Each structure stands twice: as structure tokens, then as C-alpha cells.
Amino acid sequence: MAKQPNGLSPVYLLYGAEEFLLEEALHGITRHAACDDPMSVIRFESEDTQISQIVGEAMTFPFFSERKAIIMSDCLFLTAKGKADPAISELETYLDDPSPFTVLFLVVKSDKLDERKKVVKLLKQKAQVYVFPTLKEGESKQWVKSRAQQRGLQLEQAAIDRLLLSVGGDLRSLDSELEKLAMYLASDLTGQSSPSAGGNSQRVDESLVDLVASRTRQHTAFVFVDDVVRLKIDQALTSVRELQKAKESAVYLVFLLARQYRIVLQVKTKLQRGYSSGQIAEAAGIHPYVCKLAIEQAKAYEITTLEKILIQLTKIDHQLKTGQIHEQEAIIDFILWLSSSFDEMTPYRATYR
């Protein structure tokens, strides 16, 4: 399929589960295709529109500019789940001879297309294809780092990890938090703009992420567990108070803590037996990133200490379920017990504050 004189392809196929990256790419190409004229962009929802209507529109000369862009969203007919459309042959015919004044975008927010379908095979051959798979852990970290640099921020590795733990892997949410960090640092105490001198990047550490970044209740719980296991007592107490205000169940928090300490115990045991990180993750049935966190957390503990902690959590769980201890007190009491009971952990705690 020959490109148009402006270098654009007549047909684009964009698919993948990483919606934020897909939408950014779609926006950029569409602006170019429509000459920055919103009136020249026509959008269709696949579920509400017949393919014959879209092909007809693609073959109709534009009224307001030299070319137009047509976006067909949610093209489920390209996946195994999609319903068959009797007019699919019209699209297949169009791919052989697309209109020179139309740029057609087919969008599928899914990682997999049905490669058995003729129309999918034709699109792979004739269209410009962009794929946006879900980013892996290392890719997400690199994306955050690069995105932060575009905003004049230099995130420390601990800050990147904290941001991902606080917000999750959703790129749209991460981008929003990076924007908040940039705006926070761009304002001085009087509220006036104060960009970094000479265009230098402004450093962002873990504490600044904690100060500025938003958290969902679920991710606050995950951060809380990480703080407890790493013996970051002050942060853990702050997080548990946030969770208590949000009416989070103490029984649920005890469950999360016990689950993480069991993972740390498994990891610690297998490390002493000479297992590698990959072998531990496979044997324990946990995600490699979860395994990596647990390996770092395990450095603070002896196996006997972990066993004592799990016994204590089992005791608290029983007390909560039998009404022997108040929910507001249970978790805070456990954190303070943890802090005061193991003097050998003090150097580790100081390292992570």
C-alpha cells in the first residue's frame, strides 16, 4: 500500500492493552493527517456503526480540507470475540485501493487479534501497524524515568519504585502524578512559578512522592505493607491512619501483612538454599517483581524472627475475630511491637528512612 504524498499511510492499525500510549500515538498521527483541523476528524464506534458506512465515508471526498481522518474505535471484529460483519468484504476491498484523501485508523484496545481472519492478515500486510503491549516492570520504570525527564524531573530509583507502588502501573495515572510533582516543584512558597535554574532537572526523592502523589485505598494498603516489612515505622503509622480514616478493615490489613511475611519467609529460606531470584519466583508462584521486593525485605530478618512475626499476626487475627481487641488499636499495637521487639533491625530501619 503506497504512502500518500505527505508520508502518511492510507490505513493505520493500532492495537494493544496499553491504552495511554495507544491514544497518545493516535492523537499525534491524527493531528498530522487532519492538518490540525478538528473538523476533518470523523469518529465512529465500531459497535454502533456498520463497516459499509465507514467504507462509504472513507470514499467520500472531504468538504473542508484536502484530506480527512476517520477513526474507527473498538474494532472488536478484528478479535476472536468480535461478531462477524457481512460487510467485512467491503473493507477488504477498500484495503486494496484506499482513498488518496482519507487516512483510516482502526483501533483495538486488546493485545490479541484473530490472526485467522482474512481482514487481519490483509491489515498486517497493507496497513501501517503499531502495537502497544502492556509494559513490563522494567519498561514501566524506564517510561516513568523518561516521562519525568521530559517534565524537568530527575526521579531517584527509590522514588520511581515508590510511585509505582503508590499509584500502580496505569500510565495515565502515573503521568498525572508526574505532572503534579512538576507543578509542585515549579512553585515557590509564594505560589509563583519558579522553574529550575538553567534548565537543570529537579531531583525527586521518595519522601516527595509520599508528600505529593495520590493514592487509591488499595495502593495505600500495599504501600503500608511495604513500609511495615521494611521497618519504616513512621511511614507505616501514617499510612495506617489513612487507611483507618478510609474504614479499611484491620482483619484485611493483618491478612495482607501475614501474606507478605509468608512470602518473605519463603524467599529467605530459598535464598539460604542457594536459589536464584528466578528460581524462587517460579517455586513460590509469585511475580518476579514481588520476588525482587521480598528479597530486599528479607535482608532485615532471620528465619526465627519471621516465624515469631507470623505467630504474632495469627494471634492478632484471632483476637480481632473474637472481639478481644479493638480494630483501631490492633495494627498500631503490632507496628509498635515490631519496632520495639527486634533491636537487631535498627540499622536496616535507619537505612530505609
pLDDT tens across 132-156, in order? 998 888 899 999 999 999 999 999 9
CATH 3.40.50.720 at 217-352, yes or no: no
Indicate if 137-212 has the same CATH topology as 11-131.
no
- DSSP-assigned states of every residue in 305-328: HHHHHHHHHHHHHHHHHTTSS-HH
Domain ranges of the chain: 11-131, 137-212, 217-352
pLDDT tens across 170-219, in order? 899 899 999 989 888 876 433 444 444 445 678 899 888 878 876 666 77
Question: CATH for 11-131?
Answer: 3.40.50.300
More confident residue, 35 or 103: 103
Q: What is the pLDDT of residue 190?
A: 33
Q: What is the pLDDT of residue 83?
A: 79
Q: What is the pLDDT of residue 123?
A: 96
Q: What is the pLDDT of residue 116?
A: 93
Protein fold of 137-212? Helicase, Ruva Protein; domain 3 (1.10.8)
pTM over 0.75: no
Q: Where are the beta strands (DSSP E) in 151-247?
A: 153-155, 202-204
Identify the DSSP state of 14.
E
- pLDDT average, residue stretch 66-85: 88
Confidence label for 85 from pLDDT (cuts 50, 70 and 90):
confident
pLDDT tens across 218-264, in order? 777 888 998 999 998 988 998 899 898 888 899 999 999 999 999 99
Any bridge partners for residue 318, and if so which?
none
